[in-house]
Amino acid sequence: MKKKGHTPITRVKNPEPHISDPDWIIWAAWADRITFEEIEQKTGKTEGEVIKIMRRSINCLLYTSPSPRDRG
């Protein structure tokens, strides 16, 4: 049986955002291959600033609204 001429396409689950996109800092911080020093060189943000940005981006739905028993 002969293979078809189709080359498989590798799809990236989380593609790299453009460096001008604010999400790039968060993406780079989670990426194992990029160090905080490289992030600082490219964006000027220190490790502490990057961590603050990451903490602000975390959305925890658990505490967004009180439960019915807490309301009244």
Half-sphere exposure at residue 29, Cβ-oriented, CA atoms within 13 angstroms: 19
Quote the DSSP letter at residue 62. Answer: G
Does residue 36 fall inside a structural domain? yes
- The pLDDT, as a whole number, for residue 10 is 55
Number of domains in the chain: 1
Quote the DSSP letter at residue 3. Answer: P
Asked if 39 and 29 touch (Cβ cutoff 8 Å), the reply is: yes
Higher local confidence (pLDDT), 63 or 69: 69
Range of the domain at 66: 23-71
Does residue 2 fall inside a structural domain? no
- The pLDDT, as a whole number, for residue 55 is 87
Does residue 59 fall inside a structural domain? yes
| Token pair for 70 | 């807490």
Does residue 1 fall inside a structural domain? no
